[in-house]
Structure 1
């Protein structure tokens, strides 16, 4: 009898009792044979923990003593979880009974696969992709993330155009499958991110270490999105702009990072001006604060970044030469392609311009 890897679905919750009521039953319907379902709680005050204890007493709860965000919350919770695979699942995701097995089969097929994600569709419009991950994540040369099925705010209808599983640059944190040993080798999430783009940073670090990140088309889930931070929230704007700079700092060789970050700051200023012309002053200020925070962090000598805790490898120095560390990176500018050349779909991009 073949070995069935132990899988732990870990849902991080913060005041999300509404989502737990609606979406947890679908997770409990999962039919994978060697499965634990765990709730990690970031010091909720809405009765979430009491609800789980009363309605689902068999579910294990790991309670944090404060709200450490998505990054710190998972880092602390996963220290107490034993499994071969972790699945980091958002509390606002609906799954089907057989959603786990296809992804595990894919990841078991190659020792170099560290992380993967299923197809992410929109819960409220199930024939369309969802912004958070769609059909696998990619990134351009200036650090702008995009997906098969989503570029900036343009969301595609799922017409079967992305039914081929394959290697991507990043896997969404909304339903992130990751091998336990890879999680620990990479030191988990970078706590500085708090939330947003932390999974891109993690996947990039894994790729720099010689691992692969995959998209599994044979599994699909439905994500509501905006469960914790609404898309219009200026704090979300702040995190996205600040974390994008951290992402580049963490993963590019030093002089390449200096060059790209310098360009990105100017490009971000254009976004700031656009927010001002649209009357979104709070978002414009959020961009400014993001830049201030990033620059100040460069001078905090006492800060121990994620770089200090992980193996010293770079994109030009993969530990496993058979792996293309840049696989899934676009050589051009997504801003130029989208806003100037009006390319709205992933399939409009030149496939020869991907590494």
Structure 2
């Protein structure tokens, strides 16, 4: 199998200077691309001068994570894509476990490595940690990260298992599966588009895997920081969209409960004085309802496969039961 590492970039010159060298050093078996979303900060000049061996795919406008990858990957011919954020440091041998897993089982569509924090190298990273899941209400969480509670990596999740979603910070995926699922949903622009893609792949009968044998380190917040209200808007809106499009159950009761819980989250932001985040949730719901008809059409076009969720409500576990570690969750399917 041929493999390509595709780094998406938008005005990330400083990040490319910091992290792209590690990708080139440890990816001898891959062809390395940078998909650039019309950067204006000198990123292209940097690539030409310092990284001439990298193939640059130039998008004409900033299409976000979803559209940026969709457009660029039309020009990538390798069998396996490894989609990599521009703020990720990779390690020796990081690609081999992906190739071994893909070769072992043709039903595996996508794989995520262990993702740890560059700032706190003993800890998992927020974006994916040791593999992603969602609860029955569509809220995402990870082995090693529940909401903002992040665990130290002590080897507690050193097992290769099937997960619900793989992080877009470092996502290995078969080209044929990506194309079969029609790629990322460009209406998401950014955030949670990988959850939607993985959910659609699972509905198509494929599996998503996590491997601890590959390890990378993620800076996080390279494009949108955690304090960004726009990031809050995208996360809440896109999560609702994924439920309506992909759930194998009647989505309307779920969406009603989400409306209530998202309202509580908004009130929590108000009490914290984070007014822009409160309005971001309000705008997220308005945007979601405005796209309702289009989302229903997408729902009708997709097959639905029964999914087993580990917990009914990660909100209940985290904020009521005060459970902050994945291993302590009261699993439905244990």
Mapped partners of 1:222, 1:21: distance in 2: 16
1:266 pairs with one of 249, 260, 267: 260
Distance 1:279 1:195, change over 3 A: same
**Counterpart mapping for 1:13-32 below 5 A:** 13-32=9-28
- Give secondary structure in 1 for the equivalent of 2:123: strand
Offset of 1:257 from its aligned partner?
A: 1.1
Matched, 1:219 2:219: no
Q: Which residue of 2 aligns with 1:48?
A: 43
1:91 pairs with one of 86, 96, 103: 86
- Give secondary structure in 1 for the equivalent of 2:74: helix
Q: Which residue of 1 aligns with 2:289?
A: 295
Mapped partners of 1:180, 1:245: distance in 2: 27
Mapped partners of 1:208, 1:242: distance in 2: 21
Superimposed CA distance per residue, residues 265-298 of structure 1 (whole angstroms, 9 cap, x where no aligned partner): 1110000111111111100000000000111112
1:336 pairs with one of 305, 316, 323: 316
**Counterpart mapping for 1:291-330 below 5 A:** 291-299=285-293, 306-307=298-299, 312-316=302-306, 326-327=307-308, 329-330=309-310
Q: Is the 8 A contact 1:201 1:247 kept in 2?
A: yes
Superimposed CA distance per residue, residues 159-218 of structure 1 (whole angstroms, 9 cap, x where no aligned partner): 110001110000000000000000000000000111110101000000000000000011
- Give secondary structure in 2 for the equivalent of 1:129: coil
Superimposed CA distance per residue, residues 207-250 of structure 1 (whole angstroms, 9 cap, x where no aligned partner): 00000000001110000000000100100010011011011011
Mapped partners of 2:62, 2:27: distance in 1: 31
Q: Is the 8 A contact 2:311 2:330 kept in 1?
A: no
Matched, 1:242 2:237: yes
Q: Which runs of 5+ in 2 are unaligned?
A: none
Q: Which residue of 1 aligns with 2:98?
A: 103
Q: Is the 8 A contact 1:117 1:175 kept in 2?
A: yes
Mapped partners of 1:297, 1:354: distance in 2: 34
Mapped partners of 2:63, 2:175: distance in 1: 21
- Give secondary structure in 2 for the equivalent of 1:128: coil
Q: Which residue of 1 aligns with 2:196?
A: 201
Mapped partners of 1:251, 1:61: distance in 2: 34
Distance 1:75 1:304, change over 3 A: farther
Q: Is the 8 A contact 1:187 1:306 kept in 2?
A: no
Matched, 1:349 2:311: no
Q: Which runs of 5+ in 1 are unaligned?
A: 317-325
Q: Is the 8 A contact 2:311 2:329 kept in 1?
A: no
Matched, 1:124 2:119: yes
Q: Is the 8 A contact 1:190 1:306 kept in 2?
A: no
Offset of 1:306 from its aligned partner?
A: 5.0
Offset of 1:262 from its aligned partner?
A: 1.2
Offset of 1:38 from its aligned partner?
A: 0.2
Structure 1 runs, 4 residues or longer, greater than 4 Å off: 303-308
Q: CA RMSD in A?
A: 1.5
Q: Is the 8 A contact 1:88 1:173 kept in 2?
A: yes
Mapped partners of 1:347, 1:97: distance in 2: 29
Q: Is the 8 A contact 1:32 1:98 kept in 2?
A: no
Superimposed CA distance per residue, residues 75-102 of structure 1 (whole angstroms, 9 cap, x where no aligned partner): 0000110011000000000001210001
Mapped partners of 1:270, 1:354: distance in 2: 28
Give the aligned length: 334
